[in-house]
Structures are given as C-alpha cells and as structure tokens.
Amino acid sequence: MKVADLYVRVSTDEQADKGYSQRDQEERLRRYCEINSITVHKVIFEDHSAKSFERPAWNKLLAEIKRTRGKRNLILFTKWDRFSRNAGDAYMMISLLRKLGIEPQAVEQPLDLTIPENKMMLAFYLAAPEVENDRRALNTFYGMRRAKKEGRWM
C-alpha cells in the first residue's frame, strides 16, 4: 500500500499569481493520489525558498520521518523545483530519503530513478531552476550597479 506526504511550497507572491498557489498544488497532488490509489498521510505547507533545505516545515517533516519510519513511503510534490532549486543539496536529500525508505516524486515530472537514463532527466529538472535563480541574481546585480552609476537611489 502506498502512503504519501504531500509537500506544497511557494516562496513568492508572484508564484501564487502564476498558478503555483498552495491550494492549486494541493488539489493537483490529491487528484494524483486519488487516481493512483495512494493514501495521503499528511499535507505539508511551506513558504520558504528552495535554495536550501533549511526550511522550517521541511525540517519538521524530516524529523518526523526519522522518528516514525515506515508510516509513509512517498513524498509527492508537483514539480522538482518545488522540492529544490539546488541540485547538489537535492541529490543529497534524495539519497537520505531513499535510505529512510521514502521515494520523492514530482507528479508532473515523474521519473523512475531505477532506470539509469532517467537520472539525466532528474539532473535537468534539478539544474534548470538553479540556473534560473543564478541568472536572476546576476541580472539584479548588474541592474543595481548600472542604476548606481547613473546616480539613482536604490
């Protein structure tokens, strides 16, 4: 029997406006579970950045998983960028979860990680959001630098 925790995360108001609202994510995850006969153990709501796993709700969930091994065997989220925007940290967390008997899975970007070629897709799904964050940070830096040179107040 499959039992899952549903992980729902947003980090900005903009994400809520573009269809990544917590309610929307929860509905999609619950629908997936219903279609696939997966029992929902718990829904975890998070509103922190995915640049690291230093997130209050995530840390609480991880502690509970360690304390109550065997109560669930899946953590579901809509897309891999809801799980992490840091590829290195994500690989370490996936490894830890699998050691604890938990399979992380993005319902809209499903991957069977027992198939070696799917690891390339996982790399793409994890790296793309990190690259996007890095590009946005650079654009912000250069925009602020330019504004300062033009005498504008920040």
Structure-block tokens of residue 77: 């989220």
User: How confident is the model at residue 19, as a pLDDT?
Assistant: 55
Instruction: Report residue 13's pLDDT band, with 50, 70 and 90 as the boundaries.
Output: low
Average pLDDT, the chain: 89
CATH of the domain at 71: 3.40.50.1390
CB distance 49 to 137 below 8 Å? no
Structure-block tokens of residue 73: 């065997």
For residue 43, being part of any structural domain is answered with yes
Burial (Cβ within 10 Å: 0-12, 13-18, ≥19) of residue 47: middle
For residue 45, being part of any structural domain is answered with yes
Domains held by the chain: number: 1
Q: pLDDT per residue over 72-129, tens digit each?
A: 999 999 999 999 988 999 999 999 999 999 999 999 999 998 899 999 999 889 887 6
Instruction: Indicate if the pLDDT at residue 17 is higher than 80.
Output: no
Degrees (nearest 5) of the Cα angle 138, 142, 143? 115
For residue 154, being part of any structural domain is answered with no
Give residue 92's domain range. 3-149
